Chain A
Amino acid sequence: MNVRREPGLVGFTLHVLALAMGRVYMAGAHRLRVAGREWLPSTPPLVLVANHASHLDAVALASVLPWRLATRSYPLAAGDVFFDRLGRSILAAFLVNALPVWRRRPKPADFAELRARLTEEPCALILFPEGSRARDGRMQPFKAGVGMLVAGTSVPVLPCFIEGAFAALPPGRRWPKPSPVRVRIGEPLLFATFDNDKAGWIATAGRLESAVRALAGGATEDPP
């Protein structure tokens, strides 16, 4: 499973069905509400970054995107978690439409490929720069990988804050509890002037982290 995977008719149909079911589920079980939808561009490319404390995060974000963006969106999922075994790989690829990110065996060529896909396809990428779900619900520092993707490009990056997902499905729990989830979308940021090197990536990650923390201001879970 690699980042060059492009879904065919069957994959597309399954993804659309999964998106539809996800929307119904989030609206029904979690009364999903979104603020800041006006910040979303009407067409790709774009990148969404958010805090990560629950498996519901990707579903919530995909559910708040308008259909035209949602069908062209790819969450980036940890390769060692979601693409290690064949069955899970198939689910992650066909239902979630995820692309792998290899955390312990990073492949620099993958990021170059993802950057190209963003602008050429064009598509929307969803990623969680914390790298893994926060075990205690508190936001962890953002890793530099997000910079490898967007530093030096003019792709808008929208910070998002997901509230309530940790309470509904924290890491370790098997089934989610029906409780409200809210998504806040912030103003898009551009990183065209940031350097595409290690310093630039760290700066990018830092900028995005403070943007997401600012969005969190006033939430019950994460102190800003």
Chain B
Amino acid sequence: MIDVAGIAVQPGTAWLLGSIVAALLAAPAAIVVTGLRGRSPAVRRELWQRYVSWLAIGGLVLTPLLVGRTATILALGLLGLLCYREYARATGLFRERITSASVALSIVAMTFAALDHWYGLFVALTPLCAAVIAVASIPFDRPKGYIQRVGLGSFGLLLFGSAMGHLGYVANDTGYRPILLLVLLSVALNDVFAYVVGKSLGGRKLLPATSPNKTVSGSLGALVLTAAFVTIAAEPVFVGTGMEPVARRIGMGLVIGALGQAGDLMLSSIKRDLGIKDTGVVIPGHGGLLDRCNSLLVVAPAVFHYVWYFDGFDLDLPRRLLTGS
């Protein structure tokens, strides 16, 4: 079931995978060490919870990736729907049934376009589905709240249909595994870098009203460290392609570092506006799905087009797999 031959062919997959597994296995040692330093049991328990959740997330994310292209695209489509559901519940959009259904169907359609490897459809769906969302609730003759529901619906479409869809679309390249692993790992590390640097150096708060725990030092530190990590880790992934030059890899790292944090701040802004702390309780120790996926959403389309522009991948799998003649 796991496409071992496919994994072996894609450079960089093995060692990226290996480093993720190693990090997950090494983390308990780090937790034990901080425990020995006399932290309170509540903090230790929270750390353990977060660790176990990371293990579960790692398993759930890596499995479809290893199984194959179809599993990856479907899993990401499902993730998009689940994240949208959380968003709709948090913002109240779920009460507007026809608008919400339009967004959900749009996400399904975009997943289908990725599965079919039909880029034209994938691109066309964004404005077309936005039009459907705008028009769908009009026949009910309830103009009160129109701008809010169409605005929320369109935002949801962009984030969970288009942005998440770009991530799935990467799977239409034969070398998709290391690229996706690289993106997922660097976005996750970006958060960790920001936290670690911020805690160590302290200093001025970045945006106290939006996200009270973020510091300027953490932000800049994350940018630098993520760029460094991506530059090194992307080398085996993009060898022989247009993304091989160091400058381009540094650029990719900066894009991930900056936009990853932007995605985090985007979610913080949404939560502050709504007056909530977490978007859900699905992941123990972390909050909801959105709390974990937010950075990825802003990064995905930018990285996709950056890599494509510099010929980092070819999207060389056959097109129109399902609908073509």
Q: In the complex, what residues of B have CB within 8 A of residue A6's CB?
A: 94-95
Least Cβ–Cβ distance between A38 and chain B, in angstroms: 25
Is A109 part of the binding interface, using a Cβ–Cβ cutoff of 8 Å?
A: no
Q: Is the CB of A9 within 8 A of B104?
A: yes
Least Cβ–Cβ distance between B81 and chain A, in angstroms: 10
Is B149 part of the binding interface, using a Cβ–Cβ cutoff of 8 Å?
A: no
Q: In the complex, what residues of B have CB within 8 A of residue A87's CB?
A: none
Distance, CA A185 to CA B281, complexed state (A): 44
Question: What is the chain A residue whose CB lies nearest that of B97?
Answer: A12
Q: Is the CB of B97 within 8 A of A9?
A: yes
Q: In the complex, what residues of B have CB within 8 A of residue A8's CB?
A: 85, 88-89, 94, 100
Interface positions of A from 1 to 51, Cβ below 8 Å from B: 6, 8-9, 12
Question: What is the chain A residue whose CB lies nearest that of B104?
Answer: A9
Per the CB 8 Å criterion, the residue count for chain A at the interface is: 4
Q: In the complex, what residues of A have CB within 8 A of residue B94's CB?
A: 6, 8-9
Most chain B CB neighbours (cut-off 10 Å) among A6, A8, A12: A8
Q: In the complex, what residues of B have CB within 8 A of residue A12's CB?
A: 97
Q: In the complex, what residues of A have CB within 8 A of residue B100's CB?
A: 8-9
Is B101 part of the binding interface, using a Cβ–Cβ cutoff of 8 Å?
A: yes
Interface positions of A from 89 to 118, Cβ below 8 Å from B: none
Q: In the complex, what residues of A have CB within 8 A of residue B89's CB?
A: 8
Interface positions of B from 75 to 105, Cβ below 8 Å from A: 85, 88-89, 94-95, 97, 100-101, 104
Distance, CA A141 to CA B91, complexed state (A): 44
Distance, CA A9 to CA B98, complexed state (A): 9
Least Cβ–Cβ distance between B38 and chain A, in angstroms: 41
Question: What is the chain A residue whose CB lies nearest that of B92?
Answer: A6
Question: What is the chain B residue whose CB lies nearest that of A13?
Answer: B101
Q: In the complex, what residues of A have CB within 8 A of residue B104's CB?
A: 9
Distance, CA A216 to CA B104, complexed state (A): 47
Least Cβ–Cβ distance between A68 and chain B, in angstroms: 11
Q: In the complex, what residues of A have CB within 8 A of residue B85's CB?
A: 8-9
Q: In the complex, what residues of B have CB within 8 A of residue A9's CB?
A: 85, 94, 97, 100-101, 104
CB-defined interface of A158-169 with B at 8 Å, one 1/0 digit per residue?
000000000000
Most chain A CB neighbours (cut-off 10 Å) among B85, B94, B104: B94
Most chain A CB neighbours (cut-off 10 Å) among B85, B97, B100, B104: B97
Least Cβ–Cβ distance between A15 and chain B, in angstroms: 11
CB-defined interface of B39-80 with A at 8 Å, one 1/0 digit per residue?
000000000000000000000000000000000000000000
Question: What is the chain A residue whose CB lies nearest that of B88?
Answer: A8
Most chain B CB neighbours (cut-off 10 Å) among A6, A8, A9, A12: A9
Least Cβ–Cβ distance between A91 and chain B, in angstroms: 21
Distance, CA A182 to CA B85, complexed state (A): 41
Q: In the complex, what residues of A have CB within 8 A of residue B101's CB?
A: 9
Question: What is the chain A residue whose CB lies nearest that of B100?
Answer: A9
Question: What is the chain A residue whose CB lies nearest that of B89?
Answer: A8
Q: In the complex, what residues of A have CB within 8 A of residue B95's CB?
A: 6
Question: What is the chain B residue whose CB lies nearest that of A8?
Answer: B94
Least Cβ–Cβ distance between B95 and chain A, in angstroms: 7
Least Cβ–Cβ distance between A1 and chain B, in angstroms: 16
Least Cβ–Cβ distance between A17 and chain B, in angstroms: 15
Interface positions of B from 206 to 262, Cβ below 8 Å from A: none
Least Cβ–Cβ distance between B99 and chain A, in angstroms: 11
Least Cβ–Cβ distance between A105 and chain B, in angstroms: 24
Question: What is the chain B residue whose CB lies nearest that of A11?
Answer: B94
Distance, CA A8 to CA B92, complexed state (A): 10
Q: Which residues of A contact B (CB under 8 A)?
A: 6, 8-9, 12
14 interchain pairs, CB-CB under 8 A: A6-B94, A6-B95, A8-B85, A8-B88, A8-B89, A8-B94, A8-B100, A9-B85, A9-B94, A9-B97, A9-B100, A9-B101, A9-B104, A12-B97
Contacts A6-B95, A8-B89 known; 5 new A-B pairs at CB < 8 A: A8-B88, A8-B94, A8-B100, A9-B97, A9-B101
